[in-house]
């Protein structure tokens, strides 16, 4: 809620190659935005979908980096912040809000190391880390994992956007940031979750979200749902009806579920966070099996459905 008057529903919506994997992808995306009543939608894996969706909805849009932004409210300025962030300033009934959508590096996917898989980690690292295949054993050395994660550039991307946010903070604008970070949350791999979800006893404060938190931003999902065991809020992998399972998993013998998609906000007396909900299917993929969610998460599953563009194999 902005200024106690205007609702602002924000959606992070990974489009999976710009919605090209399903028939009539832009229409299905527009239908989901209508159903969720999203005012601002961040669209990683952008393609040309934001332009098409914007036309279908009659909304403004911006395509900057590999993230599009679609807004019900007027977009009054736009910019790219480094190679990873698209930024738009929107006018919410007289209040200016700076919104940032990000899609960070997908390689150096170090969350797979404790699960016994390589994460396409480039550079001088142990054998097997440079691919996506199963390793001889899980990597439980937190220092090694964090060093490889730092090399991804994702923590540096957080620093880059924070410098721009400081400008917006000084200008007196409300700030909201979201997108696909391709990295777990510093608030999720806790001691309580160490023996769950194939964390293999590892406790990690992942750097990218930690830097945002240290700068004073709030992870809206964790503010509303503070328990990462009861409410893991998984966004990956997402089950997609009609697709073969091997198209939906990169670590077929692991529990690779993670929350890697976020909406953050800069605390502001004009902004209240009223709710935060996972939008997506009720099922995920674990060890190459479809599994129904058994957490306490509230999951909104849209009625809109898309069929694959090709027959699944």
Q: Give me the average pLDDT of each 10-residue run along the chain (313 residues).
A: 87 74 79 96 85 95 94 98 98 97 98 98 97 98 98 98 98 98 98 98 98 98 98 94 88 98 97 96 96 96 64 33
Tokens coding 303: 């009625």
309-313: long-range contacts (C-beta < 8 A, 24 or more apart)?
A: 309/20, 309/21, 309/22, 309/23, 312/242, 312/243, 312/244, 312/247, 313/244
Residue 55 to residue 308: CA distance in whole angstroms: 23
88 in Cβ contact with 61 (< 8 Å): no
User: What pLDDT does residue 310 have?
Assistant: 41
Chain mean position to CA 117? 21
pLDDT tens track for 249-270: 999 999 999 999 999 999 999 9
User: What pLDDT does residue 21 have?
Assistant: 62
User: In 10 A of CB 189, how many CB atoms?
Assistant: 24
Tell me how far apart the 2 most distant CA atoms of the chain are, in Å: 58
pTM of the model: 0.94
User: What pLDDT does residue 19 have?
Assistant: 57
Mean predicted lDDT score pLDDT of the chain? 93
What letter would DSSP give residue 276? -
Chain mean position to CA 77? 24
Q: What is the 3-state secondary structure (H, E, C) of 281-303?
A: CCEEEECCEEEECCCCCCEECCC
User: What pLDDT does residue 308 have?
Assistant: 45
User: What pLDDT does residue 42 have?
Assistant: 96
Chain mean position to CA 131? 23
pLDDT tens track for 138-161: 999 999 999 999 999 999 999 999
302-305: long-range contacts (C-beta < 8 A, 24 or more apart)?
A: 302/31, 302/32, 302/35, 302/36, 303/31, 303/35, 304/28, 304/31, 304/32, 304/35, 305/28, 305/241
User: What pLDDT does residue 263 have?
Assistant: 98
Strand residue runs (E) in the chain: 10-12, 40-44, 60-63, 67-71, 75-81, 85-92, 95-103, 174-180, 218-219, 261-265, 278-279, 283-286, 289-292, 299-300
Query: Does an H or E element contain 224, and which?
Result: helix 220-224
């Amino acid at each position: 809620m902005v200024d106690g008057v205007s609702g602002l529903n924000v959606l992070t919506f990974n489009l999976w190659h710009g919605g090209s994997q399903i028939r009539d992808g832009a229409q299905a995306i527009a239908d989901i935005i209508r159903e969720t009543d999203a005012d601002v939608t961040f669209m990683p894996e952008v393609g040309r979908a934001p332009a098409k969706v914007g036309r279908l909805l009659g909304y403004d849009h911006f395509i900057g980096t590999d993230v599009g932004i679609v807004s019900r409210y007027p977009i009054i300025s736009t910019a790219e912040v480094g190679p990873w962030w698209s930024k738009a300033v929107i006018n919410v009934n007289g209040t200016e809000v700076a919104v940032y959508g990000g899609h960070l590096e997908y390689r150096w996917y170090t969350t797979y190391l404790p699960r016994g898989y390589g994460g396409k980690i480039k550079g001088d690292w142990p054998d097997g880390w440079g691919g996506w295949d199963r390793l001889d054993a899980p990597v439980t050395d937190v220092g090694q994992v964090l060093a490889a994660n730092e090399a991804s550039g994702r923590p540096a991307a957080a620093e880059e956007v924070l410098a721009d946010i400081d400008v917006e903070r000084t200008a007196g604008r409300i700030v909201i940031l979201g997108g696909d970070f391709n990295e777990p949350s510093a608030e999720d791999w806790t001691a309580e979750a160490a023996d769950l979800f194939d964390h293999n006893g590892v406790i990690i404060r992942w750097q990218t979200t930690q830097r945002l938190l240290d700068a004073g931003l709030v992870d809206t999902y964790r503010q509303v749902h503070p328990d990462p065991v009861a409410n893991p809020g998984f966004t990956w992998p997402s089950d997609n009806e009609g697709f073969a399972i091997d198209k939906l998993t990169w670590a077929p013998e692991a529990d690779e579920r993670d929350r890697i998609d976020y909406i953050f906000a800069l605390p502001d007396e004009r902004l209240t966070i009223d709710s935060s909900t996972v939008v997506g299917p009720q099922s995920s993929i674990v060890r190459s099996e479809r599994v129904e969610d058994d957490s306490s998460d509230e999951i909104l599953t849209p009625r809109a459905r898309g069929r694959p563009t090709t027959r699944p194999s």
